[in-house]
Structures are given as structure tokens and as C-alpha cells.
């Protein structure tokens, strides 16, 4: 069924004798970089054996945002029971695990610490290799778990989440090349702040939803989807960077103007919030499309030959990839260039333990950085972290002018 089954099935001992054999190997993944405690077990064929996810959304919604020390307390209180539930769900004993993968970077340092300390302790006790995982890399590789044959290295990836927005060429675990990134806010962050300012959370159906999900749903209620227009960010900059702060500030201004005009009470929502959300989604889609289009054209330049003669495969991942309207536009753009496009299943677009475990599987199969694996104390957290290589300057120097593909609908 999976290409990786063959890879694993041949039996291969790496530098530290971790035997990836005909017998299945199981990797435990631990994710605590932000406000979700995710623990999962994935085997070397890409089958998910257990997936436990404890969200802190309900708590943080009450306070209007994540309070890092409180997020840390909640991770601490939940991590052991999440681990026990994960083992029970997989029907495995701890000794049967092959390796332990954990998010070490980037993320909220207090949250990362809980996962890394737990993973270190576990790895030492079980004498298993400990695999450090870059959170954004894990988002980027996740779609390969479900489409191993279709998504080979290298591929182009748009990462859009609550903390990041990046375009990268993915050559393998630890081998990502940055083409562009956000200069200010991330799109998910903008959605969350705008959703909060709109006060969507006071509508019962959106009470426990993140801003992006609520805005996506509200946009479907629009009766005049063209009522709001937003200026296009970075229109003069011919690179692959992003900016969402302008869209956010324009949103705040438009909401305030509407509230004044219709005298919205302090605990109310503007009457045409659906129209507003449709305009916002269109603006974000267009910006993501433009920068991704330039990235595709950059990769396709004859002198680059990043992907040989074939059009690059395009993957979108991160929490914002849950958005059907945005993803449909990205897939539409890709199709115009003959590129195939993929995103992970929705349950794996947002933060979860499966993507961390899967990154661990990819590391085991590629035998990367093996020397770190039993040196538990060398594995530590990093609040911010980039990628191995950057083509940002080359992208800017190329200054490619594109004939824009129009969004759908």
C-alpha cells in the first residue's frame, strides 16, 4: 500500500543499530509547542496506531489568547495521561516503541519544555533514541504520510499556520530551503485576532472555534461577498514574502466603521459579518496565491532546475490549510502550471502528535543526525528556528513579474 513499506520492509540497520526491519517499528511523537498536547504513535508504514490530542482552546478562549505559563501548566497536567492513553489505544507496551520524537523548535519555550523534558525522561528510561523535530518541518512532511508515492523529494510547500507563513522547497528532513516568509503576522494569527475583534466567539456556534475556522464558516453566510475589498499587501515587492498586518489593521478599521454606523452594542456582532469574512478570505487567498505563484515560477526558471523538467508538486500545510476556500485557490493555481497539489487530511493539518511521530519515521528511514539520538542532554528547546538554507535573496534578485492567476469564484 505504501512506498515506505518497501523501504522499511527490506530491513536496514542504521548507525546506532536501530533496526528498521520486516517487523514494524513504532515511533512515539510528542507535540507541545503551543496550546495542544498531542501524543501519537505511527509505524514505519505510515499507519497511525494511536492519536491523542488534548486541546486547550476552551481555556484560552476565556482569556482572549494564550497565556504561556498557563499553557505550560495545562501541558504538565495532561501529558502523562495522554501518553498512557496513547499506549492503550495502540495496544503497545513502552518497550515496543522504536524511538521517541519530540518537537524541540520553534514554539513557546515554556510549552516546548514540557514535551522535551517528558521525552528525555522517557527515552532515557527506555534507552530509546530521541529524535528532535522542527515543528514547521513536521507540518511540511505530514502530507507524505498519506501520499508517499505521489509526494517525492523535492517538493514545494506553502506553510500557513498561527505562527508562521513560509514558502519552502523540501528536500528531506532537515533539508528545507526557504524562499519567502511573513514579515509580520501569520495568516492564522490574523484570522484569530480579527475573529476576536469581530466578536465571533460570542455567537454560540463559534464559541469554541479558532478564528480561522469561524471566519471560514461565516464567509459562507455572505449575501454580498463583494461588499468588502482589501488592498493587496506587498504588491510592489517582487519576492515571495508575505504580510498580513495591513489586512488585519484594515479589518479593524472596517469593523469599527461598521459598528459606529449601525450602533452595534459592545457585546454584539456587526450585521453583515458574513460579507466581511468573505472579503477577508478573498484578500488572504489572493495574497497567498500571488506569492506561491512567484515561488512556482522561481522554481521553474530554466537555470534553477530545482525539480528537473517536471513541474513541482505543491503541498499546503499548517492550520490554515484546513480552509477549503483557500486550499481550492492554491490547488487551482497549481493546476495552471501542471503541478499536482496536496494537503494533509484535515485532522492532520493543525498541530498534532502524528506529524511529529511521522517526522521521526522519516528521520529513522533517512538516518539523519544519528549522533544526537542517545545524547539526550544535547537535545534542547529553541523558541525560534529557521531552515537549513535560504534562497530569499536570490528570489528577490530574480524579481519575477508574473501574470496573475485569478482566484476562483
Residues 145-184 binding ligand KG4 (CB under 6 A) are: 161-163
- Binding partner at 216 among Zn ion, ligand KG4, none, C-beta below 5 to 8 Å by kind: ligand KG4
> Which member of 192, 259, 275, 362 binds ligand KG4 (CB under 6 A)?
192
Distance, in Å, from the CA atom of 196 to the CA atom of 383, rounded to the nearest integer, reads: 25
329 binds Zn ion (CB under 5 A): no
351 binds ligand KG4 (CB under 6 A): yes
The residues, any chain, with a CB within 8 Å of residue 206's CB and separated by 6 or more, are: 195, 200, 213, 214, 217, 218
115 binds ligand KG4 (CB under 6 A): no
The residues, any chain, with a CB within 8 Å of residue 367's CB and separated by 6 or more, are: 14, 15
Nearer Cβ to Zn ion, position 140 or 284? 140
35 binds Zn ion (CB under 5 A): no
50 binds ligand KG4 (CB under 6 A): no
- Binding partner at 322 among Zn ion, ligand KG4, none, C-beta below 5 to 8 Å by kind: ligand KG4
Distance, in Å, from the CA atom of 405 to the CA atom of 330, rounded to the nearest integer, reads: 10
- Name the segment binding Zn ion (CB under 5 A); options: 217-225, 303-311, 351-359, 401-409: 351-359
- Name the segment binding ligand KG4 (CB under 6 A); options: 44-52, 113-121, 189-197, 235-243: 189-197
> Which member of 32, 56, 72, 161 binds Zn ion (CB under 5 A)?
161
User: Are 366 and 175 spatial neighbours (Cβ–Cβ below 8 Å)?
Assistant: no
Alpha helices (runs of H) in 46-161, residue ranges in sequence order: 57-63, 68-90, 109-126, 135-146
The residues, any chain, with a CB within 8 Å of residue 156's CB and separated by 6 or more, are: 167, 168, 169, 170, 295, 296, 299, 307, 312, 313, 314, 315, 339
Torsion 383-387-390-396 (CA) sign: negative
- Binding partner at 72 among ligand KG4, Zn ion, none, C-beta below 5 to 8 Å by kind: none
Residues 57-86 binding ligand KG4 (CB under 6 A) are: none
212 binds ligand KG4 (CB under 6 A): yes
Torsion 332-335-339-341 (CA) sign: positive
Q: Which residues would be at the binding site for ligand KG4 (CB under 6 A)? A: 34, 161-163, 188-189, 191-192, 210-213, 216, 318-320, 322-323, 350-351
Q: Which residues would be at the binding site for Zn ion (CB under 5 A)? A: 161, 351
Amino acid at each position: 500500500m505504501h512506498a515506505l513499506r518497501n523501504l522499511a520492509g527490506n530491513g536496514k540497520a542504521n548507525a546506532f543499530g536501530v533496526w528498521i526491519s520486516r517487523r514494524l517499528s513504532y515511533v512515539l511523537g510528542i507535540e507541545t509547542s503551543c496550546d495542544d498536547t498531542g501524543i501519537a504513535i505511527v509505524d514505519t508504514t505510515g499507519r497511525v496506531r494511536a492519536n491523542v490530542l488534548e486541546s486547550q482552546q476552551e481555556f484560552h478562549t476565556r482569556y482572549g489568547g494564550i497565556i504561556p505559563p498557563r499553557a505550560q501548566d495545562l501541558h504538565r497536567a495532561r501529558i502523562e495521561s495522554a501518553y498512557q492513553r496513547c499506549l492503550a489505544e495502540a495496544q503497545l507496551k513502552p518497550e515496543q516503541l522504536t524511538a521517541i520524537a519530540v518537537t524541540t523548535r520553534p514554539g513557546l519555550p515554556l510549552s516546548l519544555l514540557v514535551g522535551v523534558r517528558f521525552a528525555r525522561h522517557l527515552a532515557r528510561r527506555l534507552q530509546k533514541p530521541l529524535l528532535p523535530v522542527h515543528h514547521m518541518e513536521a507540518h511540511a512532511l505530514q502530507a507524505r504520510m498519506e501520499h508517499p508515492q505521489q509526494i517525492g523529494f523535492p517538493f514545494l510547500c506553502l506553510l500557513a499556520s498561527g505562527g508562521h507563513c513560509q514558502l519552502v522547497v523540501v528536500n528531506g528532513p532537515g533539508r528545507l530551503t526557504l524562499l519567502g516568509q511573513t514579515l509580520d503576522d501569520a495568516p492564522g494569527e490574523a484570522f484569530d485576532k480579527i475573529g476576536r475583534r469581530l466578536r465571533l466567539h460570542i455567537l454560540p456556534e463559534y464559541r469554541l472555534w479558532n478564528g480561522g475556522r469561524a471566519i471560514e464558516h461565516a464567509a459562507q453566510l455572505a449575501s454580498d461577498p463583494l461588499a468588502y475589498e482589501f488592498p493587496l499587501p506587498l504588491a510592489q515587492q517582487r519576492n515571495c514574502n508575505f504580510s498580513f498586518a495591513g489586512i488585519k489593521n484594515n479589518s479593524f478599521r472596517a469593523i469599527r466603521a461598521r459598528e459606529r454606523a449601525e450602533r452595534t452594542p459592545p457585546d454584539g456582532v456587526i450585521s453583515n459579518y458574513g460579507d466581511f469574512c468573505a472579503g477577508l478570505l478573498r484578500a488572504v487567498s489572493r495574497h497567498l496565491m500571488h506569492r506561491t505563484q512567484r515561488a512556482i515560477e522561481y522554481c521553474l526558471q530554466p537555470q534553477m532546475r530545482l525539480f528537473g523538467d517536471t513541474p513541482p508538486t505543491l503541498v499546503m500545510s499548517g492550520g490554515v490549510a484546513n480552509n477549503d476556500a483557500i486550499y481550492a485557490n492554491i490547488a487551482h493555481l497549481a493546476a495552471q502550471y501542471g503541478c499536482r497539489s496536496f494537503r494533509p487530511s484535515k485532522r492532520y493539518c493543525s498541530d498534532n502528535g502524528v506529524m511529529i511521530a511521522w517526522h521521526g519515521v522519516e528521520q529513522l528511514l533517512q538516518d539523519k543526525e544519528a549522533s544526537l539520538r542517545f545524547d539526550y542532554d544535547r537535545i534542547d528547546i529553541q523558541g525560534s528556528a529557521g531552515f537549513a538554507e535560504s534562497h530569499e535573496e536570490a528570489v528577490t534578485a530574480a524579481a519575477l513579474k508574473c501574470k496573475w492567476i485569478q482566484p476562483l469564484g
